[in-house]
């Protein structure tokens, strides 16, 4: 009987792994469209008022601060007996409906802002519900790590397709029609999400103690439920660490316009061509990151990689185009490994409700985005982007200070 239940759990996750890939392929693609390419449209084509654009981004990223509330909502209320499944389905459907309207309204910056906020709301619920499902249904570290591996695979694939669409559809960077076609075709590519979501499975009556006993019998690594000493202090330090670990987002929005301005549109197209293949490096990096987690502690990996990432940021401001492309690929690999380890590191701190606690700490990542992305948009009109990149590198390395004092 125990063996059947265990096989049933594995079967559920095999179905979910494919769903996780496509959910985060869509999730990642939309973020690339919104945060990499639309800045070129707004900065170089429409010349949108930076203050208004910064305000819109601030309001949109403020939605991410609702993560703990949304996590608590899904913790408390079931839909048709399921804790997470229908939250995933409904938020995914809502995302796809709103996204098509966004592609038709970017000429009106105020209407665009409304739809952007709604997209961020649906994306937040989708992400919260999916990761809560993983946390709830992952009685062992092995299952948890495997699920996050497939999330990273989907994220990597999603980051590649927008580059292909840009090369295919943007013949003239100043053509509004090209940008409209670009956004609408991206919707057609992502629309299969509507058919994938109902395949999500969830164990409605997961008995964690039962599975812990099963995994102990099979010598698997069971989730460590040890009590963390000085939990409040650790929570505070983790939150500060996460906030500064993503502060390099200060230059993320104007980064692609910076590349166009620094190297020209022809070199930017070459850069985009190479980015089509970046998902191969990202997937390999995810596998490497998963391997490193087994061999050493996430804290050690983070402590080594963050200074290297900050150094690469500095070199972005002074190197030629060829070296820039090479460094960008190296950076992408390091960021994937680092972010994977940050996620696992946060999940190692367990207190009370694991799902809600994880999302509460993760909210400080979103608070970082909420503060630094609008700030970067505003400052991009006052200072050279190179200065913002160097500032982001400095802020990133500041995150190592609270990390040093964390004892998990």
Spell out the alpha helix ranges (H) of 33-108: 38-40, 50-62, 67-76, 85-105
* Residue 336 CB-density burial (10 A; 0-12 exposed, 13-18 middle, 19+ buried): buried
Could you give phi then psi for residue 22, rounded to 5 degrees?
A: -75, -35
What are the CA-CA distances from residue 288 to residues 223, 293, 337 (Å)? Answer: 22, 9, 7
pTM listed for this prediction: 0.79
How many whole angstroms separate alpha carbon 351 and alpha carbon 223? 13
Question: Going residue by residue through the chain (408 aa), what tens digit of pLDDT does each one get?
Answer: 334 344 444 445 567 787 888 888 888 888 888 888 889 989 888 888 999 999 999 999 999 888 888 888 887 888 877 778 888 889 989 988 888 888 777 788 889 899 999 999 999 999 888 888 887 776 666 777 777 778 878 887 887 778 888 888 888 888 888 888 888 787 777 777 778 888 787 765 554 443 444 444 444 444 444 455 567 888 889 999 999 999 999 999 999 999 999 999 889 989 988 888 877 887 788 778 778 777 788 889 999 999 999 999 999 999 999 999 999 999 998 998 898 888 888 877 765 555 566 777 888 988 999 999 999 999 998 999 999 999 999 999 999 999 998 887
Q: What distance, in Å, lies between the first and last C-alpha atoms of the chain?
A: 37
Q: Angle at CA 193, nearest 5°, toward 170 and 23?
A: 95
- CA-CA distance, 339 to 352, in Å (whole number)? 24
> Can you spell out the DSSP letters for 164-176?
HHHHHH-S-TT-H
Read off the tokens for 62: 């403020």
Measured in whole angstroms, how far is the alpha carbon of residue 369 from the centre of its chain?
11
Structure tokens at 86: 């229908």
* Residue 228 backbone dihedrals phi, psi, to 5 degrees: -85, 125
Domain boundaries, the chain: 2-405
Q: Which CATH number fits domain 2-405: 1.20.1250.20, 3.30.420.40, 2.40.50.140, 3.30.70.20?
A: 1.20.1250.20
* 353 three-class SS: coil
Residues near 399 by beta carbon (within 8 Å), at least 6 away in sequence:
240, 241, 242, 243, 244, 245, 247, 306
């Amino acid at each position: 009987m125990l063996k059947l239940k265990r096989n049933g759990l594995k079967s559920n996750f095999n179905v979910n792994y494919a769903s996780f890939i496509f959910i985060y392929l869509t999730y990642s693609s939309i973020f690339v469209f919104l945060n990499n390419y639309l800045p070129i449209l707004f900065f170089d084509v429409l010349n949108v008022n930076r203050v208004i654009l910064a305000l819109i981004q601030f309001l949109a990223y403020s939605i991410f601060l609702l993560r703990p509330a949304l996590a608590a909502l899904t913790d408390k209320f079931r839909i048709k007996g399921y804790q997470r499944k229908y939250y995933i389905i409904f938020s995914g459907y809502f995302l796809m409906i709103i996204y098509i309207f966004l592609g038709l309204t970017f000429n009106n910056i105020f209407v665009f802002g409304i739809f952007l906020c709604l997209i961020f709301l649906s994306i937040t619920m989708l992400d919260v519900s999916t990761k809560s499902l993983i946390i709830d249904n992952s009685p062992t570290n092995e299952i948890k790590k495997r699920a996050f591996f497939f999330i990273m695979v989907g994220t990597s694939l999603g980051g590649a397709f927008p580059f292909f669409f840009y090369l295919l559809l943007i013949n003239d960077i100043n053509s509004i029609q090209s940008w409209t076609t670009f956004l609408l075709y991206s919707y057609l590519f992502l629309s299969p999400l509507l058919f994938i979501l109902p395949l999500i499975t969830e164990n409605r009556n997961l008995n964690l103690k039962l599975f812990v006993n099963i995994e102990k019998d099979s010598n698997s690594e069971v989730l460590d439920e040890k009590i963390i000493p000085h939990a409040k202090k650790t929570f505070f330090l983790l939150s500060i660490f996460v906030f500064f670990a993503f502060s390099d987002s200060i230059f993320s929005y104007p980064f692609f316009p910076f590349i166009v301005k620094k190297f020209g549109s022809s070199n930017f197209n070459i850069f985009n061509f190479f980015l089509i293949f970046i998902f191969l490096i990202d997937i390999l990096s995810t596998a490497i990151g998963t391997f490193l987690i087994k061999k050493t502690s996430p804290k050690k990996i983070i402590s080594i990689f963050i200074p290297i990432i900050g150094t690469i940021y500095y070199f972005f401001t002074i190197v030629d185009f060829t070296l820039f492309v090479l460094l960008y690929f190296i950076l992408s690999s390091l960021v994937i490994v680092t972010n994977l380890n940050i996620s696992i590191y946060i999940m190692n701190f367990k207190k009370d409700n694991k799902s809600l606690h994880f999302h509460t700490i993760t909210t400080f990542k979103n608070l970082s985005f909420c503060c630094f992305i609008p700030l970067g948009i505003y400052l991009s009109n006052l200072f050279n982007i190179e200065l913002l990149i160097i500032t982001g590198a400095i802020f990133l390395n500041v995150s190592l200070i609270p990390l040093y004092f964390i004892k998990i």
